[in-house]
């Protein structure tokens, strides 16, 4: 059942400082609550934690989106079909899904810090090897390893948030993380497009290697442990599997998990297909594609911040989620009508507008599904976060190759996948979560 109460960061056993723990420590030491020094310390500490966790959640979209403008170039360089090159995205996504199943329970047993650092080191090595991959098959293999290691940042960032926050505060923090991690999809294709002006696609992996090294050093220096020893699980693999099975028997948790995963799959079908749709079908340059991708990401960020700063605490999370899913369904239906020729030949602008609306609505769907699902976990945040991430990335990995099933000359498969996923997400939300039967 959902855990109630204020932020868990208020508990004395939490090792990492947050604005709340700084305030609590000030009270315990007799420092006046209005002390400007204490307030500034709380603000700086909270900002630091937010930036570090934001960097961890930004790494996966950075790893995929910086590479997007180079997909046609990789196809030409390695002399491989577009569908095969798209498997480099699928491999990375699959690795991130499977890696979370392992890292999540590990973090519940050994704490958040050690599994995270190990994963970051492996990520850096795998990304560096991608620079020199001579064939598509080897590139796919190392992208799989890159995803397996990069999963540590995704799952542990969510678990750290669950360690520190609960309820409305957790939903707000997820929206704040979306602001930071949302910068990655904006900047990444722009950086990727500019890197391609000076070098080939291999240079993109060189830049990602440097980013991985910097983030690893930041985590090592500034992100301390948030799961104290007394709260860790001592069981082995069997205990972890039993914990996950128990989570999956919670109908409402499973409903939010699948609804969020299908929404993510609709988003990732856009991520996977858009380089070919925008550049090959509509003839845009890599720089134009990067600009459009960035505009869509801005929409996602803005709506996410509206959710966190204006909606959360004023209306129920389920109402905001229902509205977001409804908009995604309508946008996907409009895209299918446009790309299938129902309105005749349409240019890039109407299609880009439909994609903008769809992406923006993700700012309501994604943070609220995560928050609602994690609020139903208490002592297994790592395992719950692993299930959420694994489900999202596995379903996204299945959706990715489907968008290119009819070749590079049509955007209809992308729109079909998006509509099916959006309708499925709404059906799971209504059929499994049943928000009208409980108080959100």
Tens digits of residue pLDDT in 281-339: 887 887 788 788 878 888 888 898 888 777 877 888 899 999 999 999 999 999 999 98
What percent of the chain has pLDDT above 90?
22
Instruction: Give 123's pLDDT tier (boundaries 50, 70, 90).
Output: very high
Rounded Cα gap, residues 291 and 106, in angstroms: 39
Q: Would you say residue 10 has pLDDT above 50? A: no
Instruction: Give 256's pLDDT tier (boundaries 50, 70, 90).
Output: very high
Q: Which of 40-54, 78-92, 321-335, 344-358 has the highest mean pLDDT?
A: 321-335
The pLDDT value recorded for residue 393 is 76
- Number of CB atoms found within 10 A of residue 408's CB: 17
Give yes or no for a contact between 351 and 308, defined as CB atoms under 8 angstroms apart: no
Lowest-pLDDT range, 22-26, 228-232, 241-245, 256-260? 22-26
What percent of the chain has pLDDT above 70?
84
Burial 346-357 (b: 16+ CB within 10 A, else e): eeeeebbebbbb
Q: Which of 167-176, 224-233, 264-273, 406-415 has the highest mean pLDDT?
A: 264-273
- Number of CB atoms found within 10 A of residue 238's CB: 8
The pLDDT value recorded for residue 185 is 62
The pLDDT value recorded for residue 43 is 53
Instruction: Give 255's pLDDT tier (boundaries 50, 70, 90).
Output: very high
Rounded Cα gap, residues 406 and 192, in angstroms: 27
The pLDDT value recorded for residue 440 is 43
The pLDDT value recorded for residue 14 is 36
The pLDDT value recorded for residue 13 is 36
Q: Would you say residue 22 has pLDDT above 60? A: no
Q: Which residues, 6+ apart, have CB-to-CB distance to 234 below 8 Å?
A: 109
Among candidate residues 258, 283, 289, the one with its CA nearest the CA of residue 347: 283
Q: Would you say residue 12 has pLDDT above 60? A: no
Burial 370-398 (b: 16+ CB within 10 A, else e): bbbbbbbbeebbbbbbbbbbbbbbbbbbb
Q: Which of 20-29, 84-93, 254-263 has the highest mean pLDDT?
A: 254-263
Among candidate residues 272, 264, 359, 274, the one with its CA nearest the CA of residue 91: 272
φ, ψ at 315 (rounded to 5°): -125, 165
The pLDDT value recorded for residue 337 is 93
Locate 305 and state its tokens.
């911040």
Rounded Cα gap, residues 366 and 263, in angstroms: 7
Instruction: Give 30's pLDDT tier (boundaries 50, 70, 90).
Output: very low
User: Scanning the structure block, which residue is given the tokens 């996504």?
Assistant: 93
More confident residue, 6 or 152: 152
Rounded Cα gap, residues 113 and 372, in angstroms: 25
The pLDDT value recorded for residue 438 is 62
CA dihedral 101, 103, 105, 109 (to 10 degrees): 170
Q: Which residues, 6+ apart, have CB-to-CB distance to 254 below 8 Å?
A: 247, 248, 432
Rounded Cα gap, residues 181 and 186, in angstroms: 10
- Number of CB atoms found within 10 A of residue 196's CB: 18
Among candidate residues 68, 24, 84, the one with its CA nearest the CA of residue 184: 68
Rounded Cα gap, residues 87 and 429, in angstroms: 30
Q: Is the dihedral of CA 399, 420, 186, 104 positive or negative?
A: negative
The pLDDT value recorded for residue 44 is 54
More confident residue, 122 or 377: 122
What is the separation of C-alpha 301 from the centre of its chain, rounded to a whole number of angstroms?
13
Mean pLDDT of 79-101: 82
The mean of the pLDDT values for the chain is: 80
Q: Give the SS3 label for residue 315.
A: strand
Locate 369 and state its tokens.
């599904």
Rounded Cα gap, residues 434 and 121, in angstroms: 42
Q: Give the SS3 label for residue 195.
A: helix
Q: Give the SS3 label for residue 312.
A: strand
Instruction: Give 18's pLDDT tier (boundaries 50, 70, 90).
Output: very low
Locate 274 and state its tokens.
């858009």
């Amino acid at each position: 059942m959902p855990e109630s109460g204020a932020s868990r960061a208020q508990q004395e056993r939490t090792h990492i400082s947050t604005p709340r723990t700084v305030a609590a420590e000030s009270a315990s030491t007799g420092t006046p609550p209005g002390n400007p020094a204490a307030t500034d310390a709380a603000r700086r500490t909270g900002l630091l934690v937010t930036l570090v966790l934001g960097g961890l959640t930004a790494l996966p979209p950075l790893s995929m989106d910086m590479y997007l403008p180079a997909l046609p170039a990789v196809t030409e360089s390695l002399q491989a079909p577009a569908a095969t090159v798209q498997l480099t995205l699928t491999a990375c996504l699959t690795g991130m899904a499977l890696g979370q199943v392992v890292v999540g329970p590990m973090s519940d047993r050994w704490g958040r810090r050690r599994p995270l650092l190990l994963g970051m080191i492996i990520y850096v090595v795998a990304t560096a090897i991608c620079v020199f991959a001579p064939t598509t098959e080897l590139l796919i293999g190392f992208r799989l390893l890159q995803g397996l290691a990069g999963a540590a940042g995704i799952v542990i960032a969510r678990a750290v948030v669950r360690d520190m926050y609960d309820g409305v505060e957790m939903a707000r923090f997820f929206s704040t993380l979306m602001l930071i991690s949302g910068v990655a999809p904006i900047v990444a294709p722009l950086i990727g497009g500019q890197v391609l002006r000076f070098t080939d696609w291999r240079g993109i992996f060189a830049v990602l290697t440097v980013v991985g090294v910097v983030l690893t050093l930041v985590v090592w220096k500034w992100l301390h442990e948030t799961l104290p020893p007394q709260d860790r699980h001592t069981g082995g693999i069997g205990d972890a599997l039993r914990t996950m099975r128990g989570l999956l028997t919670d109908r409402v948790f499973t409903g939010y998990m699948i609804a969020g995963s299908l929404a993510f799959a609709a988003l990732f079908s856009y991520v996977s297909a858009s380089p070919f749709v925008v550049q090959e079908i509509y003839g845009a340059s890599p720089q134009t594609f990067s600009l459009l991708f960035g505009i869509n990401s801005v929409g996602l960020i803005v709506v996410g911040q509206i959710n966190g700063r204006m909606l959360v605490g004023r209306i129920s999370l389920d109402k905001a989620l229902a509205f977001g899913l409804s908009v995604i369904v309508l946008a996907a239906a409009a895209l299918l009508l446009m790309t299938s020729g129902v309105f005749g030949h349409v240019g890039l602008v109407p299609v880009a507008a439909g994609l903008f609306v769809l992406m923006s609505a993700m700012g309501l769907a994604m943070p609220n599904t995560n928050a609602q699902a994690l609020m139903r976990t208490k002592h297994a945040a790592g395992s719950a976060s692993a299930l959420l991430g694994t489900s999202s990335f596995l379903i996204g990995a299945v959706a990715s190759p489907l968008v290119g099933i009819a070749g590079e000359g049509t955007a209809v498969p992308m729109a079909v996948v998006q509509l099916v996923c959006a309708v499925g997400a709404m059906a799971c939300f209504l059929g499994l979560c049943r928000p009208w039967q409980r108080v959100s």
